[in-house]
Amino acid sequence: MELRIRNLSKTYANGVVALDKVTLTIPSGMFGLLGPNGAGKSTLMRILATLQECDAGSVFFGDLDVLDDKDDIRRLLGYLPQDFGLYPKVTAYELLDHFAVLKGLSQRTRRREVVDGLLQQTNLFEVRNQRLGTFSGGMRQRFGIAQALLGDPQLIIVDEPTAGLDPQERVRFHNLLSDIGDDKTVLLSTHIVSDVSDLCANMAIINKGHVLLCGEPQKLIDDIDGKIWARFVAKHELAHFQQEHAVISTRLLTGRTLIHVYSEQDPGEGFEPAAGDLEDVYFATIAGRHVAASNC
C-alpha cells in the first residue's frame, strides 16, 4: 500500500521546527529518507509510528488515517527505532516470544512457529538461547528487525539501522532488509548514503524539516550529469577553492585531498569532469547548490 504524507508539521516547545509542511508519497517497496543528524527524520518516524503527535497535516496508509486510526495502524506496523533497548539477561528466544504474546499470538504452537521462523530469517536461530547482553551491535539490530516483523506488518519503519555497524554486519543487514522489502512498504531513515543507494528504489532528501527533493536514485543521479567536477588540491589550497567554487565535498584519497565542485560549466583551474553519484546528489542538495524538479 501507499503511504501519503501531506503538509505534516511539528514544532517543539523550545521553538525548534522539526518538520515544516512535509509532503511525501511513499510507494510499496524500500523507500530511503536521507538526511543529516537533526534533519527531522526521527521526529517523522515517531509520528508515523503513532508514538508522537504532529501539529498539523495528514497521513494515510491506503485508506487508513495514521493520525486518527492508531490502533488499526499499529496492527499493520513494524518499527525499529534508532535506540532499541534490550533486556541483557534475557535470551533472544525468550524476549521475542514475549513480544509475540504482546502482538496477540496467544496460541503456543503457532507462536513457536513464528518465533523460530523469524530467528531463522534473521540468522539468529543458532544463538536463540544466548543472552541478549552478549550480542554484537549487528546481532542486536537483526533481533530488532525480527521483533519488527512480528504480526506480518505491511508498513515497516527502520530508523538509522546501520549506524555503528562494521562493514560486514552492514552488508548482512542490507541483505536482510532487501529480502523483506519486496511486498511491503519499508521506510528506511538514515544519514548514510550507501544505505539508500544499495537498497532503495525511491528516496527523498530532508534537511531542517524540509523535503528538498525526491525520486528514483538513478534519475536523481542523471540530473547532475555534467555538473560535477573534481581535482586534487594541496591542503593549503583548500580554503582558496572553497571560496572561489561551489565545493560540495572533500575527502582524502591515497593521502591527497580530492574535492568535488558543482558547476553547470567548466570551472577551470584544472578541474576535470567527474561521474556523479548519489553522494554528490546528497551533498549538492544539502549545500543548496542543486535544486531538482521532483514530484514528492
Q: How far apart are CA 230 and CA 279, in angstroms?
A: 14
Sheet holding 155-159, edge to edge: 77-80, 155-159, 185-190, 29-34, 202-207, 210-215
Residue that terminates a domain, selected from 175, 193, 215:
215
Does one domain contain both 161 and 235? no
In this structure, the answer to whether residues 132 and 234 fall within a common structural domain is no
Query: In 68-145, where do the E strands start and end?
Result: 77-80
What total of structural domains would you count in the chain?
Answer: 2
- Sequence-ordered list of residues with C-beta below 8 angstroms from that of 294, at least 6 positions apart, any chain: 213, 214, 215, 220
| Same-domain pairing of 165 and 112 | yes
- Tens of pLDDT, residue by residue over 173-197, are 888 888 887 779 999 999 999 999 9
* 266 in the same domain as 177: no
Q: What is the pTM of this model?
A: 0.90
Residue 204, C-alpha cell as written in the block: 527523498
CA of 201: how far to CAs of 44, 179, 205, in Å? 20, 14, 14
The range of the structural domain enclosing residue 230 comes to 222-286
CATH of the domain at 178: 3.40.50.300
Cell of 270: 584544472
Domain boundary among 180, 215, 250: 215
Cell of 219: 534519475
Per-residue pLDDT at 84: 77
Cα dihedral 221→224→226→231 (10° resolution)? -90
Residues 50 and 142 in one domain: yes
Residue 293 falls inside a structural domain: no
Per the domain annotation, does 11 fall within a domain?
Answer: yes
Instruction: Kindly state whether residue 295 falls inside one of the protein's structural domains.
Output: no
For residues 263 and 260, what is the distance between their CA atoms, to the nearest angstrom? 10
Are 154 and 242 members of one domain?
no
Domain shared by 200 and 183, yes or no: yes
Same domain, 235 and 127: no
Residues 43 and 158 occupy one common structural domain: yes
Identify whether the C-beta of residue 62 lies closer than 8 Å to the C-beta of residue 72.
Answer: no
What average pLDDT does range 23-32 have in this prediction?
95
Which of 171, 187, 215 corresponds to the end of one domain? 215
Across the range 269-283, mean pLDDT stands at: 95
> How confident is the model over 122-145, as pLDDT tens digits?
999 999 999 999 999 889 989 999
Give the dihedral sign, CA 118/140/147/209.
negative
